[in-house]
Amino acid sequence: MARSCGIHLGTRRFEIVVLDGGSKNQTLVAAEAGELDPNADNPGKALKAALAKHKVSKENVGLVVDAGSAAFRRLTLPLTDASKIEQVLKFEVEKDLPQWDIDEVVADYLVLASNEMSSDLLVTAVPKEQLSAALATCEWAGAEPYEVELETTAMVNAALHSDLCPIDTAQVLVHVGEHSTAVVIIDGGQVNEMRVVHLGAFGADVHRGSEEDSPEGEVGQDDAELDNQQDTVSHKALRRIRRELGRSISAARTRNDIGAVYVCGQNLPGLVGESVMDIPVEELSAFGPEGSALEQDLPTDERGRWVVAYGAALRELGGAKLSPRLRRENLTYAGTWERVEFPLAVCSLLLATLLAVMFILQQKELKILNAHGAGRWATWSNAYMMGNPKRGDRGKLSPPPDDIRTFVKKLQAGEGGSDGKPFSDDYYGATKRIDGLLREEVAKLKKELGADTSIEQPQSALVGTHLVLDLLEKHQEDWHPSIRHIDAVTQGMGKSSGSESVRVTVTLVLLAENVQTAASNYEALLNELKLQPWHKNSTRSNVVSLENDKGLLIERLPIEVDVSVYYDQQRREALEAAQ
């Protein structure tokens, strides 16, 4: 079962969710949150400990970053091809992002609507600096996210997977972050709009990382003062977020009525359970109505905190509908090869070592087999063929041909060929060479005796006619053929090998009870012809029904016959009979 991990990095906090399962069904294995220390050299110490605690591997890790620094723009291009959109995207959206140098941001897009002529896009721009910092934190903690996305898309994937967005209504999805709030409008199960409010549960991030402007307050403040300060910030954030939600709902251009507002992220008292412009505000629960045993242990008012991390983990299991790609350009991997390069190198080295060891062992075995197997066979076969002149024993091949006698002497003396390698190093090859020399001598003798098999017998028109007539005779009782005319001619003589054949043309009548039966017999004749090994080609010819409807007249049916197949069959039968 596959396992994935989703990591959500905020400005000061993180959440991780670990899932087991596939794209449709998942099991919640772990959910943990912790604090980041932006002032430390390594802000992800707690994240590293959490990943180690739950034994999260480097693979199948998804990362979600804060949407507070992102910008969303609508763009219409007269293009539909994805590759062409990629080429012009930054150039076209640059005029809508005056606050940034276009080379310092990563631009991604989502197709909202398209036709044959144009595409309506929702473009997301994120500073490269923010992505680099988030990736560095994860990599230091021991995770290697293959892709990065914003809270908006992760929240949408979680909501769509949980069936919270039916196609007959519209919804508003809200993620309350630490210092920003992401808002997504869904219409008919499709993304309609995205925006970000630069205010979160802990206020606006005016001086990121400074203690005097953070909710934690100044050094020396007691708990009561901190609580009062936090309550004031939360109250202001609640009023501002409700006001911005009202504006988003009023400005939304949706085909369906907005039925609900779903909220996740940081807990903001006074938001869930209320209504905005008479639309109920509900918790965005991405874990389903049943939930796992682990989910039951999560505080009810904090379950929404893990929604975007759940969406990232869900994407790594293949269950996400949106697949943003913020790890592109200089931040993206060069490809799948970079991820498997080192394992493949190790496997290749081990395989090369294994093959080298096997080669050495095989060579030793071949030497033993050559000396005690093929060597003995070659020695005894040569003695049987050549005899022993010193003892006056004549061999079966007497007198031996000069080529064979010379080669056997070289083999026995340990001499070699032009390459300098002794023939005795490969007795099997030497035996094959003697066999070849014997075959050459046999061919010479056959040629001298006039039995040269290299001269092929020309194809006979009479034999081709005989094969066709035999087939008709065999099915005399089935087809009732009556031959009116037949002729045959040999074609392709003197041309390249395999082009010679006999063309038999026959005019015949197929008698039957009626025309339909005769037509069936005609089809059977054509099919039977194709099954014959000597058949090369045949085509349908003109067919005329008899006046009494008792059969069909088939005019000049052409049949191309390869008589050489018949000749080969006769030779094989003769050899079998001789044996």
Quick: pLDDT tens for 14-43.
999 999 888 888 888 888 899 988 777 788
Chain mean pLDDT for the chain: 85
3 state SS of 46: helix
Cα dist from 247 to 118, 183, 195, 477, 514, whole Å: 29, 11, 11, 93, 86
- Indicate the domain borders of the chain: 1-73+118-162+285-332, 163-284, 348-448, 461-578
Whether the model clears a pTM of 0.85, i.e. scores above it, the answer is no
Q: 557 with 528: CB under 8 angstroms?
A: no
Composition of the chain by helix, strand, coil, percent to 5? 45, 25, 30
Q: Which residues does 195 contact at the CB level (< 8 Å), separation at least 6?
A: 72, 182, 183, 248
- The residue type of 481 is P
Helices (H), 252-298: 293-297
> What is the percent of the chain where pLDDT is above 90?
46
| Domains 163-284 and 461-578 agree in fold | no
The full DSSP string for 144-168 is --SEEEEHHHHHHHHHHHTT---TT
Give, for all 579 residues of the chain, the pLDDT tens digit.
Answer: 689 999 999 888 999 999 988 888 888 888 889 998 877 778 889 999 999 999 998 888 999 999 999 999 999 999 999 889 988 999 999 999 999 999 899 999 999 999 988 999 999 999 999 999 999 999 899 898 888 999 999 999 999 988 889 999 999 999 999 899 999 999 999 999 999 999 888 887 654 433 333 444 444 445 555 456 556 777 888 999 999 999 999 999 999 999 999 999 988 888 888 999 999 999 887 664 444 434 445 666 677 888 999 999 999 998 889 989 888 775 444 455 666 778 889 999 999 999 999 999 998 888 888 888 888 888 888 888 888 777 777 888 878 888 888 888 888 888 887 777 887 888 888 888 888 888 888 888 877 776 655 667 788 999 999 999 999 999 999 999 999 999 999 998 766 666 789 999 999 999 999 999 999 999 999 999 999 999 999 999 999 998 888 999 999 999 999 998 998 888 888 777 766
CATH code assigned to 461-578: 3.30.980
Query: Three-state DSSP class for 73?
Result: strand
- At 537, list the tokens: 């080609």
Q: Which residue shows structure tokens 């060929």?
A: 417
The gap between the terminal CA atoms of the chain, to the nearest Å, is 64
Q: Tell me which CATH code domain 1-73+118-162+285-332 carries.
A: 3.30.420.40
Cis peptide before 399 (omega within 30 of 0): yes
**Dist. CA 10–CA 16, nearest whole Å:** 11
CATH number for the region 163-284 comes to 3.30.420.40
CA 236 to chain centre: 52
On the 0-12 / 13-18 / 19+ scale of CB atoms within 10 A, 514 is exposed
At 187, list the tokens.
């219409």
Q: Is 362 exposed, middle or buried (0-12, 13-18, 19+ CB in 10 A)?
A: exposed
Total residues found in the chain within this entry: 579
* Paired tokens of 267: 């807990």
Cα 450 from Cα 434, distance rounded (Å): 24
Helices (H) and strands (E) in the chain, counts: 15, 21
The token pair at 149 is 């996305």
Q: Distance between CA 185 and CA 103 in Å, rounded? A: 29
Residue 259: what are its φ and ψ, rounded to 5°?
A: -100, -25
